Structure 1
Amino acid sequence: MTEPTLAELADFAGLHARAQGLDPGSVASALARIKAGGDPTAWPRTWSELGERQLAEGRPLQACRYFVLARFPYPADDVRAAAGRSAVAAFDTWRRRQGGIERREFALPSGDVAAWTANLHEGNPVLLVMGGIISVKEQWAPFLTSARRLRAGVLVTEMPSVGENTAPYGKGSDELIPEILDALGARVCAAGVHVVGLSFAGHLALSSARHDPRISSIHTVGAPVSGVFGDPAALPATTTSTLAHLSGGADLSGMALTRDDLARVRVPVRYVASRRDEIIPRREWELLAEHVADFEWVEFDDVHGSPGHLADTRLWLLRNVLARLGDRRATVLGLLLALRGRTGRGGLTRVAP
């Protein structure tokens, strides 16, 4: 297994830093110090020191975001593992001050799972948010603080073997989402469950939707479908090493979704695609367009996650989430996207049932 270079780590971490709203100057300065030192432990130590500084200054959410970078891309050593624990603790401090955000823990058949929830009540539709293979649940604070405005219950959690999730990643991981919904109970899920699953979590959502009618829609960015699992050697070293860590080196080829699998996904799927994606080739979302009954996508001329189009990505996803929730504000966001010139850069495929 090839370890990622510092330059590759910096590129991928840059996306996460921008998505979390970290100060670009501070991030650039930290990366310069890390590169100058040449010490393998400089990465987690530098970001952890910034996190500790933010804690000392009374900004636990900002501290959490630096600790998340310190554990990046996964807790491969003691310093990174400690940073992961510090991220959870800092987030817990912030959410207690914030109010309205609860911690839930589930002992599921596949493993122990922790989640942050807000506005999760009977009668509310549920928005289940899950990041990809390097994203911990603490990165999704904006979803939790927006729960009341969305008029939905929000639950943010993690993929198998990411963060506090102890379930192994591999064939059978698509049982995780149904198991979480079982734990929530039929009454909480009665108004529908809309999954925002980023990257590899989008794949889990697609796989789960084949057989779980509680899933009402899927919203994703750069989700793999099949080819990625058949040829992991073609992926960046950060991705391959993280997948190996999560799966214990297991063969993941059995996780590829077939055309018949995709045809069984009968819920709306909304997808943000990147034309220069170094992880997810174009053929992955073309398969979705060919075989999923209700599939809409938007394309940006960008790399994985479309880091240069974060505002447009968020608007597009939010517009579609609101549309599935039956919220009229979706129309306003659609008009805003049109004004920004972000419509017509994708397509809509609807296949008769």
Structure 2
Amino acid sequence: MNDVAELKQFGYVHTQTQGIPVAEFERLRDRIVSDAGDEPGSWVHEWSHEAAELDRAGRVDEAWRYHAMARFPFPDGAPRRAAQAHCVDAFARSATGSALERLDVETPEGRIRGWAVGLSAAEPKPLLVISGGIVAAKEQYAPMLRIATGLDMAGIVTEMPGVGENTVGYTAKSWQTLSHLLDAVGDRAQASRTVAMALSFSGHLALRCAVNDSRLVGVVTAAAPISDFFTDAQWQRGLPRITVDTLAHLTGVDADQLGGHIRDWALSDDELTALAVPLYYMASDRDEIIPPGELGHLQRSVRELHVLSHDDEHGAPRHLEETQRWVAAAIHTLRG
């Protein structure tokens, strides 16, 4: 069971990235008093009930967004698992007749699922891969595939290992899932010209992948852990419970064992120095999840670093429009 105050605090930025009006978030927020099952007044019930009402009204493109919030931060039982399934189903129905296609990639570690646009064996294009963090289903960021279309790129939106429909486990080698994805579409896109828009924890995976896989030509990320997050035990003790519980769920370890389990996942100065492609990094000065020293590691070691800083909390919820413009401009530059 999650802390209701944390659900409301960290859920807010995810409602905004999906275009859910602030007034709607506040209306539902005020009705939520618990995170117990799917009873009225619970997080899952209120978001799911609203989603069902929207679906019945024929507003399926809005309904999937509310289902995505109902499964937030991760499916910890039957009610959130149902919300996850409803989110995927509603999104698929909203995408009917569009250029979006389902993408399934089987790997030795599990199945990666995504939504794709612009893949073509006859006319392969440079590729944009989009991925969110540990609490974000792929559907949440699928609308950003319009950036790929606008830049004449192919695009894929997928998920972190263990998130949503991605059955690959979250381990120290999870960066390889991005390489597996590029392998799978290499005959329908210019995989050697891939830009990764990888937010939060997926940014950490994309950076390690870029060091090892030369097909990536640039990484755009926001609020990504780099080194201190994985090694600073004191910082870890102050993390929001929702972050610790989600990471424990994805990694399959007990919360009290998490710090030791991820300690070796830190990116070293040598790895950051070896990064041969541009990195665009958005940082928040008052981030509750990402340690303030992470930016220093990047500034000392990364060859080509572009930084956008906000006086804001994790995800910079008060600066979303500015951040989205900056991200789009960065992708445009990396596209060439």
- TM-score bin (small chain): over 0.9
**Where do residues 333-352 of structure 1 align in structure 2 (5 Å cutoff)?**
none
Q: Is residue 316 from structure 1 mapped to residue 315 from structure 2 by the alignment?
A: no
1:285 CA drift (Å): 1.5
**Where do residues 1-353 of structure 1 align in structure 2 (5 Å cutoff)?**
4-35=2-33, 39=36, 41=38, 42-97=42-97, 99-121=98-120, 122-185=123-186, 188-190=189-191, 192-230=193-231, 231=233, 232-249=236-253, 251-326=261-336
Q: Aligned with 2:212: secondary structure?
A: coil
Name the amino acid aligned to 1:68.
A
Q: Aligned with 2:290: secondary structure?
A: coil
Specify the alignment match of 1:334 in structure 2: none
Name the amino acid aligned to 1:310.
L
Contact 1:222/1:273, CA 8 A, preserved across alignment: yes
2:191, 2:18 → 1: CA distance?
32
Alpha-carbon distance change, 78 to 38 in structure 1, aligned in 2, over 3 angstroms: closer
1:301 CA drift (Å): 0.3
Contact 2:3/2:35, CA 8 A, preserved across alignment: no
2:191, 2:89 → 1: CA distance?
32
The Cα offsets for residues 203-232 of structure 1, whole Å up to 9 and x where unpaired, read as 000011111000110000011001111233
1:322, 1:274 → 2: CA distance?
23
2:61, 2:230 → 1: CA distance?
35
2:29, 2:191 → 1: CA distance?
47
Contact 2:119/2:188, CA 8 A, preserved across alignment: no
Alpha-carbon distance change, 38 to 114 in structure 1, aligned in 2, over 3 angstroms: closer
1:147, 1:175 → 2: CA distance?
23
Alpha-carbon distance change, 225 to 38 in structure 1, aligned in 2, over 3 angstroms: closer
1:38 CA drift (Å): 7.5
In structure 2, runs of 5+ residues without a counterpart are none
1:279 CA drift (Å): 0.7
1:318, 1:179 → 2: CA distance?
25
Alpha-carbon distance change, 233 to 186 in structure 1, aligned in 2, over 3 angstroms: farther
Contact 2:37/2:79, CA 8 A, preserved across alignment: no
Seq. identity, %: 37
Contact 1:124/1:191, CA 8 A, preserved across alignment: no
Alpha-carbon distance change, 184 to 277 in structure 1, aligned in 2, over 3 angstroms: same
Contact 1:108/1:180, CA 8 A, preserved across alignment: no
1:293 CA drift (Å): 1.1
Alpha-carbon distance change, 10 to 216 in structure 1, aligned in 2, over 3 angstroms: same
1:44 CA drift (Å): 0.6
1:292 CA drift (Å): 1.0
Name the amino acid aligned to 1:118.
V
2:75, 2:188 → 1: CA distance?
37
Name the amino acid aligned to 2:241.
A
Greater shift after overlay, 249-258 or 77-86? 249-258
Contact 1:109/1:179, CA 8 A, preserved across alignment: no
2:161, 2:36 → 1: CA distance?
30
Q: Would you identify which runs of 4 or more consecutive aligned residues in structure 1 move more than 3 Å?
A: 37-41
2:288, 2:271 → 1: CA distance?
25
Contact 1:51/1:63, CA 8 A, preserved across alignment: yes
2:192, 2:56 → 1: CA distance?
43
Name the amino acid aligned to 2:238.
A
Contact 1:277/1:304, CA 8 A, preserved across alignment: yes
The Cα offsets for residues 32-86 of structure 1, whole Å up to 9 and x where unpaired, read as 1112x68554111110111111111111121110001100100001000000000
1:187 CA drift (Å): 6.0
Q: Aligned with 1:252: secondary structure?
A: helix
- TM-score, with structure 1 as normaliser: 0.88
The Cα offsets for residues 275-330 of structure 1, whole Å up to 9 and x where unpaired, read as 0011112211210111111111011000011000000000111111101112xxxx
The Cα offsets for residues 71-110 of structure 1, whole Å up to 9 and x where unpaired, read as 010000100000000000000001114x100001011122
- TM-score, with structure 2 as normaliser: 0.92
Contact 2:175/2:209, CA 8 A, preserved across alignment: yes
1:247, 1:163 → 2: CA distance?
14
Q: Aligned with 1:192: secondary structure?
A: strand
Q: Aligned with 2:308: secondary structure?
A: strand
Contact 1:116/1:155, CA 8 A, preserved across alignment: yes
